[in-house]
A and B are shown apart, each in its own frame.
Chain A
Amino acid sequence: MLALALRSMRKRPGRFAATLLSAFLGAAIIMTFNSMHDTAGQPGVDSVSAESLSTAASVVGGYGTLLVFFAVASTLTVNVRQRSAEIELLRCSGATPAQIKRMVVGESVAVALVGAVLAIGPAMLGGRALLHIFQDSGQVQRSVDYSFGPIALLSGIDITVLAAAGAAFMAVRRATRRRQPRGGARKFFAYAALAVGVAAVCSTFAFSARDAALMAPPVYGAILLSVGFALLSPRLLKGLLDRLPLSGPSGYLAVRNMRRRTDELSGVLMPLILFTCMATATLSMQAVENDAIDASGVPKSIDAKNLETLNLVVVGIIVVFSCIMLINSLYAATTYRGREFGQQRLAGATPGQVLAMVGAEGVILTVTGVFFGTLAGLAGILPFTLVRTDGTWPGQGLGIWLTIVAVAAAVTLGTSLITARRALRTPAVAAVTLAA
């Protein structure tokens, strides 16, 4: 079965581009930060420098693993879904579910391995650059030399390959199983995430303004809230769609399509909500923190600087990964609809009307995602601001938020419209029969 896996990859390298890209980026980030462990572990590194380096490595390493898993899982789910016909054919030709599982897992392990090996070079450069940042800000002594050692290499490859294998296993299990309702578990996780999120946000008040860890509970609370909202989003979206006064043929179709596809749309809303929430919460909190430190008149401590660097890096990583996930799932969802677009065109829709419909759907998605992301973000920002300063509202939040919304809207609308345009290039009759 592995031979089949390798052959199917050689024939269709393009299909694995998204998985390869997320594995590559994930491995690069993990290796970059874990090489700080290697650097800190060298003989002759002073304890302050070593601690700065290790903290960065541990925090981002944890995030990185989770994100690699989610990103690879998202791309693989799409990949497996697109190949459902091929998988069905294999099943009809006598492949057992276990064999299909081995094939898909084998493929993704191979892709992840390639991605991880390709990431070694960039990770070395990135690690060197990161060390310079720490040195420039005085967090690490100038005398410390960069080292890319076994920890970086092994953790990078191991985590990426394991995450890919696990994600592939789950994706194929979902695909080879007959569809079954899964409302109960989803609802449970949604409410659990919301409950724990609220508890985490509330626990912010238990900290004092000077605590170094003050930022942690609201950020984790905000993440959990956004996951909860994303899980509940199908139902929330349905409620919104019922009240939407959209007229015109394109708006009419958009609303009716989305109402029937709300479950699939939650896959798109998840990265969108997470992106908005994380970027808004972290950046605003950092701005508040900076203002508070400036106001106190005391120069920034090394800990504070570490925290800032880490926050910005974490936001950067999350932004990149959410974008990959968002683009990938939107691309897949839209490509998948070539047949539907063809049917609409045969029923008398002009290409412009189809694009307008996709655009209307994109706007509704963006508004919903941004709304819940902002809600979750604010749930974290407000308690933090209350505890850290005397005010309620962060001073410079609006500009940050507008930029984030602009990025979210550009990615969502750009991806779906460009993909739809490409799908419309196939003649309507061909589009209808191709996927049939």
Chain B
Amino acid sequence: MFRRARRTHESGPAPEALRLVKVSKTFGAEESAVTALDGVTLSLARGSFTAVMGPSGSGKSTLLQCAAGLDRPDSGIVMVDGAEMTGGGEAELTKFRRSRIGFVFQQYNLLPTLTVAQNTVLPLRLARRRVDRGRVREILTAVGLGDRLGHLPDQLSGGQRQRVAIARALVTEPRVIFADEPTGALDTRSARDVLRLLQEAVRVHGRTVVMVTHDPVAASYADSVVFLADGRLAGELHAPTVDAVAERLAHLGDDALMGV
């Protein structure tokens, strides 16, 4: 179902963790159709931390969902870790995602009936992979929750829940971690902790992180920022600072008006 792309190294990981080629997505019927993504081509290197920014309705959430295999683009190619995501049913896509992709959402999406430790190992159990308890404890200790293994999600603060979600995203050792507004529901201190953990995932564990956000402060933790406007790429910023991001974001609309 999933074609392996040609590789220079037969068994090594692909140099590009994520690659989108002319990805388009339209919502709605003919007359009221809205183009959420308009031929986006994007390539992210392994071990990079990229923020995707843009005004509301710019298509950044759609981009994330198409790239992560949660939604199917109308046209274009999505490749994760050198493997192309093709059609197939949801089960097929789920199996594709399991080993390659981890998620962190604004609303945490922890299962309320499972404890912190059970939530963390859930992706492994679902994939029928071996659960290494020592490793799980290690990961949860690394996110600062080593003493909360038996707690239920509603006994935790928002920041703690998000850290469980990060631990869960790390446990399967995925190539790419997608984070959709991971700090959107957090106070500034918890947000900082979460962003540092995402940075660590890239620097220490060698993961690739793609984070959708509307917050210039959050974006400044990334290595680079990709701007999106009206479903198209609208520039990139390397080694971003808060002010530079905010400045760029404020003038995104101007560029579109001038017809650049």
Question: Which residues does chain A contribute within 8 Å of B118, judged by CB atoms?
Answer: 256
| Contact call A256/B113, Cβ cutoff below 8 A | yes
Query: Which A residue sits closest to B108, measured CB to CB?
Result: A343
B230 to chain A, nearest CB (A): 22
Instruction: Find residues 329-366 in chain A having any chain B CB closer than 8 Å to their own CB.
Output: 340, 342-353
Given contacts A348-B126, A350-B126, 18 further A-B contacts (CB under 8 A): A248-B128, A249-B126, A249-B128, A252-B125, A256-B113, A260-B113, A340-B111, A343-B111, A344-B126, A347-B122, A347-B168, A348-B97, A348-B122, A348-B127, A350-B91, A350-B94, A351-B89, A427-B71
- The answer on a CB contact under 8 Å between B65 and A349 is no
**Contact indicator A351/B91 (Cβ below 8 Å):** yes
Q: Is there contact, CB below 8 Å, between A249 and B114? A: no
CB contact list, A245-288 vs B, under 8 A: 248-249, 252, 256-257, 259-261
A432 at the B interface (CB under 8 A): yes
**Does A436 lie at the interface of the complex (its beta carbon under 8 Å from any beta carbon of B)?**
yes
A428 within 8 A of B: yes
Question: Once bound together, how far apart are the Cα atoms of A433 and B71, in whole Å?
Answer: 14
What total of chain A residues lie within 8 Å of the partner, measured CB to CB?
Answer: 27
Q: Which residue of A lies closest to B152 (CB)?
A: A260
Given A348-B97, A350-B95, A427-B71, CB of A436 within 8 Å of CB of B107: yes
Chain A residues within 8 Å of B125, by CB:
249, 252
* Complex contact A346–B113 (CB within 8 A): no
Interface residues of B in 64-92 (CB under 8 A from A): 65, 70-71, 89-91
How far apart are the CA atoms of A100 and B107 in the complex, in Å? Answer: 30
The 9 closest A-B pairs by CB, nearest first: A350-B91, A260-B113, A348-B123, A348-B126, A343-B109, A350-B94, A249-B126, A348-B98, A347-B122
User: Residue A429 at the B interface, CB < 8 A?
Assistant: yes
Q: Is A347 touching B126 in the complex (CB atoms < 8 A)? A: yes
Q: Chain B interface: which size bin?
A: 20 to 34
Distance in angstroms from B161 CB to nearest chain A CB is 12
- B110 near A: Cβ within 8 Å? yes
Question: Are A256 and B65 in contact, with the CB atoms below 8 A?
Answer: no
Taking CB atoms and an 8 Å cut-off, the chain A residues in 402-436 that contact chain B are 427-429, 432-433, 436
CA of A148 to CA of B108, assembled, Å: 61
CB of B103 within 8 Å of the partner chain: yes
A256 to B126, CA, bound (A): 14
The smallest C-beta distance from A84 to any residue of chain B, in angstroms, reads 16
Closest B residue, CB atoms, query A342? B109
Contact, CB under 8 Å: A261 / B70: no
Residues in chain B near residue A344, CB distance under 8 A:
111, 122, 126
- Give residues in B with beta carbon < 8 Å to A: 65, 70-71, 89-91, 94-95, 97-98, 103, 105, 107, 109-114, 118-119, 122-123, 125-128, 168, 172
Contact A350 B113 (CB under 8 A): no
B2 → chain A, closest Cβ, in Å? 15
Tell me the minimal C-beta distance from A144 to chain B in angstroms: 60
Q: Which residues in B have their C-beta under 8 angstroms from that of A351? A: 89-91, 94
CB under 8 Å from chain B, chain A span 58-93: none
Q: Which residues of A contact B123 (CB under 8 A)?
A: 347-348
Main secondary structure of the interface of A (DSSP, over half): helix
A residues less than 8 Å from B91 (CB atoms) = 350-352
Contact between chains at B71 and A429 (CB < 8 Å): yes
Q: Roughly how many angstroms separate A345 CA and B68 CA in the complex, as a whole number?
A: 13
Chain A positions within 8 Å of B103 at CB level: 346
Contact between A261 and B109 (Cβ–Cβ < 8 Å)? Answer: no
CA distance A145 to B21 in the complex (A): 82
Complex interface: chain B residues within 8 A of A257 (CB): 113
Contacting residues, chain B, for A248 (C-beta < 8 A): 128
Nearest-neighbor residue (CB-CB) of B114 within chain A: A256
Known interface pairs A249-B126, A256-B118. Does A347 touch B113 (Cβ–Cβ under 8 Å)? no
* Chain A residues closer than 8 Å to B128, beta-carbon distance: 248-249
In this complex, the member of B71, B113, B126 whose beta carbon has the largest number of chain A beta carbons within 10 angstroms is: B126
Residue of A nearest to B118 (CB): A256
Residues of A within 8 A of B97 (CB): 348
B122 contact set on A, CB distance < 8 A: 344, 347-348
Q: Whole-angstrom distance from the CB of A253 to the nearest CB of chain B?
A: 8
Point out the residues of chain B lying under 8 angstroms from A353, CB to CB: 126
CB distance from A364 to the nearest CB of B (A): 15
Q: Which of B90, B113, B114 has a CB less than 8 Å from the CB of A345? A: B90
Q: How far, in whole Å, are A100 and B178 apart by their CA atoms in the complex?
A: 43
Q: How far is the CA of A349 from the CA of B91 in the complex (A)?
A: 8
Hey, which chain B residues are within 8 Å of A348, CB to CB? 94, 97-98, 122-123, 126-127, 172
Q: Cβ of B95 and Cβ of A429 under 8 Å apart? A: no
Name B72's closest neighbour in chain A (CB-CB). A427
> What are the residues of chain B within 8 A of A343 when measuring CB–CB?
109-111
Residues of A contacting B113 with CB < 8 Å?
Answer: 256-257, 259-261, 340
Q: Are B126 and A349 in contact (CB under 8 A)?
A: yes
How many whole Å from A236's CB to the nearest CB in chain B? 19
Partner of B105, one of A252, A340, A346, A427: A346
Question: Which B residues are in CB contact (< 8 Å) with A428?
Answer: 70, 90
Residue of A nearest to B109 (CB): A343
How far apart are the CA atoms of A348 and B93 in the complex, in Å? 10
A28 CB to nearest B CB, Å: 41
Residue of B nearest to A428 (CB): B70
Q: Please tell me if the beta carbons of A346 and B126 are within 8 angstroms of each other in the complex.
A: no
User: Taking CB as reference atom, which chain A residue is nearest B61?
Assistant: A429
- In contact, B111 and A432 (Cβ under 8 angstroms): no
* Closest chain B residue, CB of each to CB of A347: B122
**Shortest Cβ distance from A350 into B: residue:** B91
- Given A261-B113, A432-B105, A350 and B71 contact (CB-CB distance below 8 Å): no
